[in-house]
Amino acid sequence: MTEKLIVERRGNIALLTMNNPPANTWTEESLKGLKALVEELNADRSIYSLVITGQGEKFFSAGADLNLFADGDRSVARDMARYFGEAFETLSHFRGVSIAAINGFAMGGGLEVALACDIRIAEEQSQMALPEAKVGLLPCAGGTQNLTMLVGEGWTKRMILCGERIKAAKAQEIGLVEEVVPQGQALEKALELAANVAQQSPTSVTACKQLIQNNRTHHWDAGYILERELFVDLFFTEDQKEGVNAFLGKRAPEWKNR
């Protein structure tokens, strides 16, 4: 698909490594590749989770290459904003569970790709920032919206409007990441969580994720109604029958994702 993204399948887990040294920056090629990859994984019933990490030990991702914007070309800006938005929005709507294994600096679009994931695991030496305003830009790949949903307006404004860079411990304290692990262990922990996903019914996980993210755009009352509807919809799936009967039969379920 692109050499800037290395994809490995480990059973029901897809492992994606951003591979554009030295800082794993995003390009038109890699953004289009990410969008295509997630769409491919959505169609692959054997994949239940996606883990994303960065190549090397220093950077998870530094976001966009600022050389792209040096001459002030608005057409380039418009195109790159669209590529970033489409890629990360597609990631956010991945059918399964996406986990960011943050193994270093996550800056700008590098943090935004983590924000588009369901869960974030950060190594203790990691640092995170959305510093776009320092160079006359703004986070255009979901940063202003997704960060606010995670940590609230106060910390979002500190990070974006005041340009505050935070370390992993603070990120966990404010709810930006779910767990902090020692250096070199983010991928291991992310893969452990992804293995836990495989124990759940993949059709149930897809429905539950839809419900959890539903309140981003709809009122709670609509979510209560949708919850009941999707509960009944699961009874049209093979996994519902398999899950209940496996439990009653005291055996491990064999999911088919249908």
Give the residue among 233, 227, 204 at the shortest CA–CA distance from 215: 227
Say if 254 falls within a structural domain: no
Residue 185 and residue 206 in one domain: no
Is the whole-model pTM more than 0.75? yes
Q: Is residue 151 within 8 Å of residue 175, measured between CB atoms?
A: yes
Say if 258 falls within a structural domain: no
* pLDDT digit string, tens, across residues 181-211: 999 999 999 999 999 999 999 999 999 999 9
Catalytic residue among 39, 40, 89, 112: 112
Residue 160 and residue 233 in one domain: no
Residue 179 and residue 211 in one domain: no
- What was the pLDDT predicted at 66? 84
Catalytic residue among 132, 153, 227, 229: 132
Say if 206 falls within a structural domain: yes
Least confident stretch, 7-21, 131-145, 214-228 = 214-228
Q: Which domain holds residue 242?
A: 202-249
Strand order in 179-181's β-sheet? Answer: 5-10, 13-18, 49-54, 97-102, 119-123, 179-181
DSSP state of 64: B
Q: What's the number of domains the chain is made of?
A: 2
Residue 27 belongs to domain with CATH number: 3.90.226.10
Handedness of CA 99, 103, 105, 109 (dihedral sign): negative
* pLDDT digit string, tens, across residues 58-82: 999 999 888 888 888 899 999 999 9
Of 163, 178, 198, the one marking the end of a domain is: 198
- What was the pLDDT predicted at 215? 87
Does 132 participate in catalysis according to the annotation? yes
